[in-house]
Structure 1
Amino acid sequence: MDLKLLRLYKFPILIALSCVAFYWNFAYGLAREDFGRLVMLYTALFFLSYKLYELLRHNFKILVILAIIFRLIFLFALPELSQDYFRFIWDGQLINAGINPYQFIPTEISNELDFSNTKVLLKGMGSLSAGHYSNYPPVNQLLFAVSSFLANSSQLLNVMFLRAIIILADLGTLFFGASLLSNLGLSRDRIFLYILNPFIIIEMIGNLHFESVMVFFLVWSLYLLEQKRWFASAIVLGLSISVKLLPLLFLPLFFGFFLNSPKLSFMKLLGFHCLVILTLVISFVPFYSEEVLANFMASVGLWFGKFEFNASVYYLVRWVGFQVKGYNIIETAGKILPVITFVAVLLLTFLRKNATMQSLIKSMLFGISVYLLLSTTVHPWYLAIPLLLSVFTQFRFMLAWCLLVILSYSAYSNAQYDENLWLVALEYTVVIGYFLYELFLPKNSKPLDRVY
């Protein structure tokens, strides 16, 4: 019987073992400067993981076990593709020392601290992070503080605790995502397009990006809202925003869902929004002062008016600006493009009914996609929310985007961190082209959501 099972599952076993080997290489033997190897390993993992999903999609338990194994491979590894975790540890240690992480720039207070690892953290986080105020919202800060408290000054232990938090968040996303899919009459195995995706495993587990925690709270909130438990849903959504501010973008889109649902109403819509904002405000209370608020908003504003990375529409606008004005117009574009995004979200709010959970999620996917396409900065891990949302729709352009976003790492292959704009153009040409193909696919064609 065992031999029969071995023969039956020989290809999935071979693919799974290959994935283990490749993830091990990612975790313990890869530098982000080695762009060619990075792309080859990532591409191989992407296609092997998708093949594994196709072969085992109806064996839910095995896919869960594999998803956990792939994540545990990274448990003892220090992130090599991102240096953000040094700032996480820094902020956590400040809180445990009774210092407000929003109040001081690291380079300003480094000489006043008696941390044994101050120099290591400052060097590790880099001059950009060390020269600005923290922009991580309060729930994120709480998790940094807990990890720092448990690990003391051990860098590896801190990373392990942070990684454990993210793994638990992914398991929560697996549970609530699969449950929501089942409630919507969709196959629950779709959740593995997110959970088993190498993009999620590498960027979230490997590189310690807390978008996984934000996504967990978001899908939990949507699960509660689908059951019309709007009060609890609002609180959980507020927690999601307090991990990363991005879900604030979705607030207008709930208008149609509340007004078109029998058990909901306009008054409950107002209550929902008030609870979301109240939860966010309460999370900031322990850190609040006028100075801190100004510092935090200034730090967040930098991402719109100063920084640029892996952008699409903005790079075209920037080129036009150079032709017309003769200089980089990022400060102007950084103010106008968010307004266009907000207008797009309002159009999605009032031109689409969003009466069902699936239509609401589709509008959320469209809204955040517009936001990312108009952003001046699109780091790979920003794609976590739209990837999760796409699982509940027929759209699969996010799989292409998550595959091609690895090309943005070409910037780290040179000392100047110069981007290869040809690779950026390739990324967005394919992604936008695939999205338009899916959007305007002839109605008599087989729906894509039945394929997956």
Structure 2
Amino acid sequence: MQSYWRLHRYPILFAVACILFYWSFAYNLVRTDFVKLFMLFGALFYLTFKIIQFEKWNFKFLLVIGILFRLVFLIAEPNLSQDFYRFIWDGKLIKNGLNPYLYTPDQIMEQATVSFDGMKELHEGMSTLNARHYSNYPPVNQILFALATLLGGGSILGSTIAMRLIVILADLGVLYFGRKLLQHLNKANHLAFWYFLNPLVVIELTGNLHFEGVMLLFFVWALHLISKNKEFWATPIYATSIMVKLMPLMFLPLFIKYLGLKKSAIFYLLIGLGCAALLFPFYAPVFIDNYSESVGLWFSNFEFNASIYNVVKKIAVTYFEAKPWELIDSYGSLIQKVVIVIVLLLAFLRKNQKLESMITSMVFALACYYFLSSTVHPWYVVFLLGFAIFTDYRFPLVWSCTIILSYYAYSNPDYKENLWLLAIEYILVIGFFIYEMIGSRPKKLYFFKK
């Protein structure tokens, strides 16, 4: 024991400090206190970097502290996001036999369609935007919400703990399949800990109960199966990832060169059937209209932590007297088309015959989408970070550190963003991205060659 302490005393002390900082984050922080939030996050990021630097080959040590970091949040109420109220609300609707895609929370409160424990508290806790609109969370998410409310015994705290355990198990799954995929790609498997121990991942997933990690679990699992030439076994797993969050839909065209035309056609068909099977229990005649309306909000009615959009908005409003509410609507519609073009260019112009090259194309596609998007919440970057570790690109790791600057908006009653802080965030991220694209390694000089 003494010899172990002598060899590992600094990482152990760093880990204890992280646990204390996570405790303060979970139980003594309000999101309006930006200075404390920023300092805690910065300290956690630095200490985590040093721990991985010292112990990157010590799998058991890193695994144990990663679990301990997460267990700190076990009974904490999420303090940076209100979304969990809607998660539990949707789960309770399903538990009571109601389809969450057919009724808004406001409608249910007005019409008294159903009654359940904590109903008023959940409605008051969620954002007014959430309360006014139909659920935009895909079917597998809904199933997990219902499971959490069932396991939670009807209480909000119990449901929160159940969801937290689901998220922790998903992260363990990402670590398991991520290490296997890294081994297949001949990369150091300790790279998986840049995801597993990343403070953004711990805080936004375990702490704030976002389900990007669950989506990532099925996504990485599917990539692992594909790497073993079991692409058809991967289709139900990939479909499940889509039905947790829709983001993996974006990458489907990138499989054409990797699988070949015939195999990719079958691959797409089976994924489509898998998605349809998962969607079927929730289907109703008005489902498509309701769901499209809710999803469309994030493209045309909301803005947060944007980069290119803020530049476009500043120019359009200042020099062309554009109306902001009209600009974001037209911009959202345009960006959807631009992202489709970018993905198709990556699919047909890059050499995606190798798995790592295809995953790199996925990193480019998602990064471009986020750079163009009018809304980039901190937990969105978790997905990008989660599969960027299988490539040579590290700008998502930089982003996972700098994106905390976006939380400054919540320190103001009117949620006004500080554009200087956002500029710092994106100058560092996009600057590092450009550096990696034109960096010292010759293979990165040519975007469409690899």
| Stretches of structure 1 lacking an aligned partner (at least 5 in a row) | 260-265, 448-452
SS in 1 for 2:351: coil
Task: Map residues 14-93 of structure 1 onto 2, 5 A cutoff.
Answer: 14-93=13-92
Q: Tell me if 1:335 matches 2:326.
A: no
Task: Report the Cα distance in structure 1 between the residues aligned to 2:83 and 2:225, rounded to whole angstroms.
Answer: 32
Q: Tell me if 1:326 matches 2:301.
A: no
Task: Map residues 395-410 of structure 1 onto 2, 5 A cutoff.
Answer: 395-410=393-408
SS in 1 for 2:117: coil
Task: Map residues 286-325 of structure 1 onto 2, 5 A cutoff.
Answer: 286-322=281-317, 323-325=319-321
Task: Report the Cα distance in structure 2 between the residues aligned to 1:374 and 1:87, rounded to whole angstroms.
Answer: 27
Report deviation, 1:443: 2.9
Measured at CA, do residues 355 and 120 of structure 1 come closer, stay the same or move farther in structure 2, by a change above 3 Å? same
TM-score normalised to structure 2 length: 0.96
Task: Report the Cα distance in structure 1 between the residues aligned to 2:189 and 2:320, rounded to whole angstroms.
Answer: 52
TM-score normalised to structure 1 length: 0.95
Task: Report the Cα distance in structure 1 between the residues aligned to 2:235 and 2:302, rounded to whole angstroms.
Answer: 32
Contact 1:317 1:333 in 2 (8 A): no
- Residue correspondences, number: 440
Measured at CA, do residues 446 and 102 of structure 1 come closer, stay the same or move farther in structure 2, by a change above 3 Å? closer
Report deviation, 1:287: 1.1
Task: Report the Cα distance in structure 1 between the residues aligned to 2:387 and 2:281, rounded to whole angstroms.
Answer: 32
Task: Report the Cα distance in structure 2 between the residues aligned to 1:230 and 1:436, rounded to whole angstroms.
Answer: 33
Contact 1:361 1:389 in 2 (8 A): yes
Q: What CA deviation, in whole Å up to 9, does each residue of 1:333-375 have, x standing for no partner?
A: 1100111111111111111111111101100000000011111
Measured at CA, do residues 236 and 444 of structure 1 come closer, stay the same or move farther in structure 2, by a change above 3 Å? closer
Q: What CA deviation, in whole Å up to 9, does each residue of 1:412-446 have, x standing for no partner?
A: 10111111111111111110001101110123799
SS in 2 for 1:380: coil
Q: What CA deviation, in whole Å up to 9, does each residue of 1:172-195 have, x standing for no partner?
A: 101000001011111111100100
Pick from 361, 364, 384 the counterpart of residue 363 of structure 1: 361
Task: Report the Cα distance in structure 1 between the residues aligned to 2:282 and 2:321, rounded to whole angstroms.
Answer: 42
Q: What CA deviation, in whole Å up to 9, does each residue of 1:166-224 have, x standing for no partner?
A: 00100110100000101111111110010010110000000000001000000000000
Report deviation, 1:9: 1.0
Q: What CA deviation, in whole Å up to 9, does each residue of 1:302-360 have, x standing for no partner?
A: 10011111011111122222121431111111100111111111111111111111101
Contact 2:305 2:376 in 1 (8 A): yes
Task: Report the Cα distance in structure 2 between the residues aligned to 1:154 and 1:144, rounded to whole angstroms.
Answer: 13
Task: Map residues 190-339 of structure 1 onto 2, 5 A cutoff.
Answer: 190-259=191-260, 266-322=261-317, 323-328=319-324, 329-339=327-337
Task: Report the Cα distance in structure 2 between the residues aligned to 1:377 and 1:281, rounded to whole angstroms.
Answer: 28
Task: Report the Cα distance in structure 1 between the residues aligned to 2:48 and 2:440, rounded to whole angstroms.
Answer: 29
Measured at CA, do residues 444 and 149 of structure 1 come closer, stay the same or move farther in structure 2, by a change above 3 Å? closer
Report deviation, 1:151: 1.7
Structure 1 runs, 4 residues or longer, greater than 6 Å off: 444-447
Q: What CA deviation, in whole Å up to 9, does each residue of 1:102-147 have, x standing for no partner?
A: 0011011114132231110011102111011100000000000011
Equivalent AA in structure 2 for residue 435 of structure 1 = F
Equivalent AA in structure 2 for residue 295 of structure 1 = N
Alignment correspondent of 1:347: 345
Task: Report the Cα distance in structure 2 between the residues aligned to 1:407 and 1:443, rounded to whole angstroms.
Answer: 31
Contact 1:90 1:121 in 2 (8 A): yes
Task: Report the Cα distance in structure 1 between the residues aligned to 2:370 and 2:176, rounded to whole angstroms.
Answer: 27
Report deviation, 1:384: 1.4
Superposition RMSD on alpha carbons, in Å? 1.4
Alignment correspondent of 1:411: 409
Task: Report the Cα distance in structure 1 between the residues aligned to 2:289 and 2:67, rounded to whole angstroms.
Answer: 41
Alignment correspondent of 1:128: 129
Contact 2:117 2:155 in 1 (8 A): no
Task: Report the Cα distance in structure 1 between the residues aligned to 2:226 and 2:129, rounded to whole angstroms.
Answer: 39
SS in 2 for 1:308: coil
Task: Report the Cα distance in structure 2 between the residues aligned to 1:347 and 1:154, rounded to whole angstroms.
Answer: 49
SS in 2 for 1:216: helix
SS in 1 for 2:135: coil
Task: Report the Cα distance in structure 2 between the residues aligned to 1:210 and 1:446, rounded to whole angstroms.
Answer: 33
Equivalent AA in structure 1 for residue 77 of structure 2 = L
Measured at CA, do residues 55 and 129 of structure 1 come closer, stay the same or move farther in structure 2, by a change above 3 Å? same
Q: Tell me if 1:432 matches 2:427.
A: no
- Which stretch shows the higher mean deviation, 334-343 or 212-221? 334-343
Alignment correspondent of 1:6: 5
Contact 1:338 1:374 in 2 (8 A): no
Alignment correspondent of 1:263: none
